[in-house]
Chain A
Amino acid sequence: MSLMSSVLLLAQEQPAPPKVEAPPVSAIWPILIVLGAACLSVLFEALLPKHLRWPAQVTLALLTIAAAGVKLVTYVSDAPAAGETAMFGTLAVDRPALFLWGTLLALSLGAVLLIADRSVEPGGAFVASAAIRPGTIQDRAQVASTGMQTEVFPLTLFALGGMMVFCAANDLLTMFVALEVLSLPLYLMCGLARRRRLLSQEAAVKYFLLGAFASAFFLYGVALLYGYAGSVRLADIAEAAAGSDRSDTLLFAGMGLLVVGLLFKAAVGPFHTWTPDVYQGAPTPVTAFMAACTKVAAFGGILRVLQVALESTQWEWRGVLWGVAIVSMVIGAVLGLTQTDVKRMIAYSSVAHAGFLLIGSIALTEKGLSGTLFYLLTYGFTTIATFGVISLVRDSSGEATHLSQWAGLAKRSPLLAGVFTFLLLALAGIPLTSGFVGKFVVFEAALADGMAPLVVVALIASAVAAFFYLRVIVLMYFSEPAADGPTVTVPGAFTTAAITLGVIVTLLLGVAPAFALDWASSGVFAIR
């Protein structure tokens, strides 16, 4: 009755609706642009005739990244130093988040160029229609056709949007949703290769099942931390961990499960088992996108969780992550030695790099943060260019990724061999490349934070890893080319641009890293 009367009263008086403060959007324009364009891109798929889709999608994707980049730069110039929250406190836009957004946008520009390329493989690296069964007559026809499943562009944009949200998420629920928004498109993109479709589909199944398994662990961790702290806000968890009367079992179990989920996404050993298979099976442009951008996003998330939410419990988890970092470096370096496929070799190299990045992440200092951010930037660009080069060496059945086929490649194409040598040296961390500076800043931060034994292991692991990079270089320069060896495709504008971008940044950050280091160390996680 009282409800009725109050409703009537409301109808009569018509009071002004309660004023809701509009959340500031200037900080999150880049995310809004990327996700909005992703929706628009889905509409393009539905409404445009087939022959118009590729040009429309490529233009939209490139414009989106450019527009988001411009918005980011204009925001950075007058961003508050203390950072600000957006979307009712669910997103923390502080200096590290802005740096990671910039990195993600720049890397995805390179990845989109590789994805859009149709010169290396006529029609592009993607299947004309994923619904065609491999091995049938229709499948042989689609290999020769110039069509392409253009859904890959909206999927890329959604994944990019998810990554940007992921590394700015201020609470664990947002982080979980962002994790799925970035993962689900990637699962699909892995299965879209034009050639070797069985491998591609197998990669998609493996990535999907293991990825979903890992996100279930992540989610259970979120639930336990919610039980412990009564909130999923990172700052509230930090506050509760500093002093709460709840059982510590909840905290430690939750923390462990959460971190396992994150380490899986970042391909840190021993949670790396999916990495080689998926990197090998997925279409090479997608591998480039996945290897570079997912790593940036995942380590962005790891850094934020460790530094904001779990800093006060560092004495409990630090020892465990020491062990994980060592295992990751050793697995990456040792198993990388035994590989015969160049994509798998780079996958194990990425596991080793994940170990180096983890060292930077567990140094809970400003230098550790800025070093890790810088390392992510350097590693991403080198990786994009590396996979771009790998996509150029082909024979009649597609990419020739077996190492024996790379023998004597320098005689066929000195330019390609030179570029690839430079990139491998950057991955190995030789001076005058960005890889050296990245390793240097991370190890320096680790030493300053009292992790000398870990740095020694890391140096040994880099030396072992350098061996398998050098093996490829020796193979390219000092072996006789096979008579029926692969040819080196002359790339079109898109792939050339992506590789050039990667190589220039790798060189620039190796020779003059100061400006990027300044940018990386311009601030810490300020929203607490």
Chain B
Amino acid sequence: MTPTYYLLLSALLFTIGAVGVLVRRNAIVVFMCIELMLNAVNLSLVTFSRINGSLDGQIMAFFVMVVAAAEVVVGLAIIMSIFRTRRTASVDDSNLLKY
């Protein structure tokens, strides 16, 4: 197996995540798609680390995991607060601010 396949897989996962953010309507699902994008990046970081023969990429993947965890804390808090107010997590219903 050449490492290139992992890069392609990571690009595919990233694209699936990005498309998901654009087409899904539930804030939680949108957020999960963003997490998918971050994990796709982790995969390519580790693959590049292997290709380059240095450990930097693997260390960076840990950084990304920590940051993603922090993002979950903040993100779920915000989504929870709007869900408790509106009884829905659909991003289409948050439409007071426009034009």
In chain A, positions 262-306 with a C-beta closer than 8 Å to chain B are: 276-277, 280-281
Complex interface: stretch among A41-49, A184-192, A380-388, A431-439: A184-192
Most buried by B among A208, A212, A231, A277: A212
Whether B91 and A205, one on each chain, are in contact in the complex, defined by CB atoms closer than 8 angstroms, is yes
In the bound complex, CA of A184 to CA of B76 (Å): 12
Whether B44 and A227, one on each chain, are in contact in the complex, defined by CB atoms closer than 8 angstroms, is yes
Whether B14 and A226, one on each chain, are in contact in the complex, defined by CB atoms closer than 8 angstroms, is no
In the bound complex, CA of A201 to CA of B93 (Å): 12
User: Which one of A135, A180, A213, A232 contacts B34 once the chains associate, using CB atoms below 8 Å?
Assistant: A213
In chain A, positions 149-183 with a C-beta closer than 8 Å to chain B are: 173, 176-177, 180
In the bound complex, CA of A224 to CA of B98 (Å): 36
Complex interface: stretch among A50-58, A215-223, A370-378, A410-418: A215-223
Task: State how many angstroms separate the Cβ of B10 from the closest Cβ of chain A.
Answer: 8
Whether B94 and A205, one on each chain, are in contact in the complex, defined by CB atoms closer than 8 angstroms, is yes
Whether A191 and B85, one on each chain, are in contact in the complex, defined by CB atoms closer than 8 angstroms, is no
Whether B34 and A216, one on each chain, are in contact in the complex, defined by CB atoms closer than 8 angstroms, is yes
List chain A residues, Cβ under 8 A from B56: 226, 231-232
Tally of chain B residues near chain A (CB < 8 A) = 44
Can you list, as one digit per residue, whether each of A221-261 has a CB less than 8 Å from chain B (1) or not (0)? Answer: 01110110011100000000000000000000000000000
In the bound complex, CA of A277 to CA of B96 (Å): 9
List chain B residues, Cβ under 8 A from A204: 78, 81-82
Tally of chain A residues near chain B (CB < 8 A) = 44
Task: State how many angstroms separate the Cβ of B59 from the closest Cβ of chain A.
Answer: 8
A280-B67 in contact given A191-B78, A212-B34, A213-B21 (Cβ < 8 Å) = no
List chain B residues, Cβ under 8 A from A28: none
In the bound complex, CA of A203 to CA of B57 (Å): 35
List chain A residues, Cβ under 8 A from B64: 176, 219
Any B CB within 8 A of the CB of A130 = yes
In the bound complex, CA of A50 to CA of B60 (Å): 40
List chain B residues, Cβ under 8 A from A219: 38, 41, 64
User: Which one of B67, B79, B91 contacts A180 once the chains associate, using CB atoms below 8 Å?
Assistant: B67
Q: What DSSP secondary structure best describes chain A's contact surface? A: helix
Any B CB within 8 A of the CB of A209 = yes
In the bound complex, CA of A130 to CA of B41 (Å): 34
Whether A184 and B71, one on each chain, are in contact in the complex, defined by CB atoms closer than 8 angstroms, is yes
Task: State how many angstroms separate the Cβ of A376 from the closest Cβ of chain B.
Answer: 26
Whether A227 and B52, one on each chain, are in contact in the complex, defined by CB atoms closer than 8 angstroms, is yes
Whether A198 and B78, one on each chain, are in contact in the complex, defined by CB atoms closer than 8 angstroms, is no
The chain B residue sitting closest to A225, CB to CB, is: B48
In the bound complex, CA of A339 to CA of B98 (Å): 10
Any B CB within 8 A of the CB of A140 = no
Task: State how many angstroms separate the Cβ of B94 from the closest Cβ of chain A.
Answer: 4
User: Which one of B14, B41, B51, B85 contacts A135 once the chains associate, using CB atoms below 8 Å?
Assistant: B85
In the bound complex, CA of A338 to CA of B99 (Å): 9
Whether A202 and B78, one on each chain, are in contact in the complex, defined by CB atoms closer than 8 angstroms, is no
In the bound complex, CA of A216 to CA of B20 (Å): 13
A202-B81 in contact given A223-B41, A231-B56, A232-B60 (Cβ < 8 Å) = no
B contact set with A: CB distance below 8 Å = 7, 14, 17-18, 21, 27, 30-31, 34, 37-38, 40-41, 44-45, 47-48, 51-52, 54, 56-57, 60, 63-64, 67, 70-71, 74-75, 77-79, 81-82, 84-86, 91, 94, 96-99
A contact set with B: CB distance below 8 Å = 130-131, 133-135, 173, 176-177, 180, 184, 187-188, 191, 197-199, 201-206, 208-209, 212-213, 216, 219-220, 222-224, 226-227, 230-232, 276-277, 280-281, 338-339, 344
Known: A176-B63, A184-B71, A230-B52. 18 other contacts (CB 8 A): A134-B85, A173-B63, A188-B74, A188-B78, A198-B86, A201-B82, A202-B82, A208-B75, A212-B34, A212-B71, A212-B75, A216-B18, A219-B41, A224-B44, A226-B56, A227-B47, A277-B97, A281-B97
30 CB contacts below 8 A, A to B, read: A130-B81, A134-B85, A184-B74, A198-B96, A201-B82, A205-B27, A205-B94, A206-B94, A209-B27, A209-B75, A212-B31, A212-B34, A212-B75, A213-B18, A216-B14, A216-B18, A219-B64, A220-B41, A223-B41, A223-B57, A226-B45, A226-B48, A226-B52, A227-B7, A227-B51, A231-B56, A232-B60, A277-B98, A339-B99, A344-B99
